[in-house]
Each structure stands twice: as structure tokens, then as C-alpha cells.
């Protein structure tokens, strides 16, 4: 339906020159006196990101790829960004907007931290950071000059001793749920995440949550399935674990994959007919 919300490059026109939609570049305006153009589409993009609450906090997952249209352009990009001691972002969509936004947030947090040296007031909670992000993204969409991202905010609230997981995107749309996935992950991974989460916690979420190990294995599975099915993904990803102990971002890792079955598929490998 709405192509705007998937972060595979969406070209403005389909034509013979770009029949497979590989180019993310917009057509240049003919006139040099055109009004100042705002971002109308992402350029260098990251694909979907995942998040889940587990018994001691939150885990986020994002792969290391930044694509240029269909080109796997940068293959060692970290899309998990820690903020302070107990919050982490997982960011999909435009990578330059991602970098701009993190610079802004880092500055805001640094300013707050330096003031807190004088009054010992606790730093921003995950909820505070999320509120700020939501306002930023809604304000930019309201100027019709969006920051082209979908973001998961994972955190551990040290005051309330509870985990935090929420979503915000380029429209300023916000929501929270115990499992979250953006873009194509909302279609492919979210059902797997919900199934596993509800199997233990129940539909009301009142039962026990997944353990840290179970949650990580679940994210491994989801990242593998996404790698099989999402053409803009990479089998190299990281997992952020946010708990009372702080934010831990894993080294990049890969899933074991099996492509033997593909030999029998038409369209994979050398054509036989």
C-alpha cells in the first residue's frame, strides 16, 4: 500500500533506463530557480530493525548494511546508537538523517549532563529521550521536511526499574509494544516475535518474559529469516542489550544459512532453460 514506509529505495519514476528501480536519485528539477526542495526520498538507507523486551531489559537488532538503492554500498555501518547509560536507538531509513539526528541528541544529552553536575538531577530517562525524538520527528514532518527514519528506542528506566521499548518514524507516528519491528520486518519478523513472546508471557503479557538467552536466539532467527527474504539486508548484524547494567552492543555476527534448496529454483544460479 503505502510505499513511503518501506525503506527500500523507491524511485520517483519507473522507466526503461531504470527498469529495476535500482537508482535512488530523484530526477533533477529542470529549472535552476525551483523552490528549495526538501527531502522527498531517502538516499543511503538501512533496512528494518527489531526490538523485544526480555526479563531483564530490552534487546535491539540491526544489520550492518547501508544501501544505495539496490547497491549494497556500505557493509560495516553500525545502526545501533547508545545514548547515555540506559538508552539505545536502532535506526532504519536514511543514514545521513540518522547521523544528523544522533549528533543533535548527543549534544542535548551532553548539555543536560553538564548541568546535572551542579544539581545531581538524574539524566534523561529512555522515556524523556523518546519524547524528544517524537517531537523532533513530528516537527520535521509538519514542516514537510521529514527526517526519513523509523526508530526503535530501547531502554532501562533506572528510577522505575522497568524496561522501555517504543517506535517513532518520519511521520511522527509513535507507539509502544513488547515486540517491535520496522519496515519489512513488521511483516516478516514481527509475527515471529509476537508468537514467541506470547508463548511465554501469554496474550495479556502477564506471564514470565523470555530470558536473555531466549530473546537473543529469537532475534538471531528473525535476522536470519530477514536475510533470506529481504533483498536489502546483510548477513552481518549486531544486537544491543539494554539492562540495569547499561547498554552492551555485540560484535557483528552472522547466521548460518543454507542455500542448497535454491539450486532447484528457477531464477537462482545459471538458467537451465
Q: Which residues are catalytic?
A: 39
Residue 40 or 244: which CB sits closer to other proteins?
40
Task: Give min distance, CB of 42 to other proteins, in A.
Answer: 10
Q: Does 177 bind other proteins (CB under 8 A)?
A: yes
- Which residue lies nearer to other proteins by CB, 1 or 265? 1
Local structure of 264: helix, strand or coil: helix
Burial letters 49-58, b for 16+ CB under 10 A, else e? bbbbbbebbb
**Counting contacts by CB under 8 A, is residue 114 touching other proteins?**
no
Tell me if 250 contacts other proteins by CB under 8 A. no
Among 103, 187, 229, 253, binds other proteins (CB under 8 A): 187
Element counts in the chain: helices (H) and strands (E) = 4, 13
Interface stretch with other proteins, choices 36-44, 77-85, 219-227, 265-273 (CB under 8 A): 36-44
Partners of residue 67 on adjacent β-strands: 45
**Residue 87 — φ and ψ, nearest 5°?**
-135, 145
Q: Is 138 in the site for other proteins (CB under 8 A)?
A: yes
Return the biggest CA–CA distance within the chain: 75
Q: Report DSSP letters for 52-109, one per residue.
A: EEETTEEEEEEES-EEETTEEEESS---EEEETTTEEEEEEEEHHHHHHHHHHHHHHH
Q: Which residue has the cell 538523517?
A: 97
Stretch that binds other proteins, among 59-67, 130-138, 228-236, 264-272 (CB under 8 A): 130-138
**For the CA atoms of 67, 69, 70, 76, what is the dihedral angle to 10 degrees?**
-10
Q: Does 115 bind other proteins (CB under 8 A)?
A: yes
4 binds other proteins (CB under 8 A): yes
Q: Which residues of this protein are in contact with other proteins, per CB under 8 A?
A: 1-5, 10-14, 38-41, 115, 118-122, 124-125, 127-128, 130-132, 135, 138, 141-142, 144, 146, 159, 167, 171-177, 186-187, 190, 203
Amino acid at each position: 500500500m503505502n510505499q513511503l514506509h518501506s525503506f527500500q529505495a523507491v524511485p520517483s519514476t519507473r522507466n526503461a533506463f531504470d527498469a529495476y528501480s535500482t537508482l535512488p536519485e530523484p530526477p533533477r528539477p529542470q529549472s535552476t530557480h525551483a523552490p528549495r526542495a526538501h527531502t522527498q526520498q531517502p538516499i543511503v538507507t538501512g533496512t528494518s530493525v527489531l526490538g523485544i523486551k526480555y526479563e531483564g531489559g530490552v534487546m535491539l537488532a540491526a544489520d550492518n548494511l547501508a544501501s544505495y538503492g539496490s547497491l549494497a554500498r556500505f557493509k560495516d555501518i553500525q545502526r545501533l546508537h547508545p545514548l547515555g547509560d540506559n538508552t539505545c536507538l536502532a535506526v532504519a531509513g536514511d543514514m545521513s538523517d540518522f547521523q544528523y539526528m544522533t549528533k543533535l541528541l548527543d549534544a542535548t544529552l551532553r548539555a543536560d549532563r553538564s548541568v546535572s553536575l551542579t544539581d545531581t538531577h538524574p539524566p534523561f530517562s529512555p522515556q524523556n529521550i523518546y519524547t524528544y525524538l517524537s517531537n523532533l520527528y513530528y516537527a520535521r514532518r509538519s514542516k514537510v521536511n521529514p527526517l526519513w527514519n523509523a526508530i526503535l528506542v530501547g531502554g532501562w528506566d533506572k528510577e522505575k526499574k522497568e524496561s522501555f521499548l517504543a517506535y517513532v518514524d518520519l511521520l511522527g507516528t509513535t507507539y509502544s509494544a513488547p515486540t517491535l519491528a520496522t519496515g519489512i520486518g513488521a511483516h516478516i519478523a514481527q509475527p515471529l516475535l509476537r508468537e514467541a513472546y506470547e508463548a511465554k508471557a501469554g496474550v495479556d503479557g502477564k506471564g514470565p518474559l523470555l530470558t536473555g538467552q531466549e530473546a537473543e536466539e529469537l532475534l538471531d532467527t528473525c535476522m536470519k529469516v530477514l536475510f533470506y527474504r529481504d533483498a536489502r539486508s546483510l548477513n552481518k548484524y549486531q544486537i544491543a542489550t539494554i539492562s540495569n547494567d547499561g547498554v552492551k552492543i555485540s560484535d557483528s555476527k552472522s547466521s548460518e544459512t543454507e542455500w542448497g534448496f535454491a539450486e532447484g529454483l528457477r531464477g537462482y544460479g545459471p538458467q537451465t532453460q
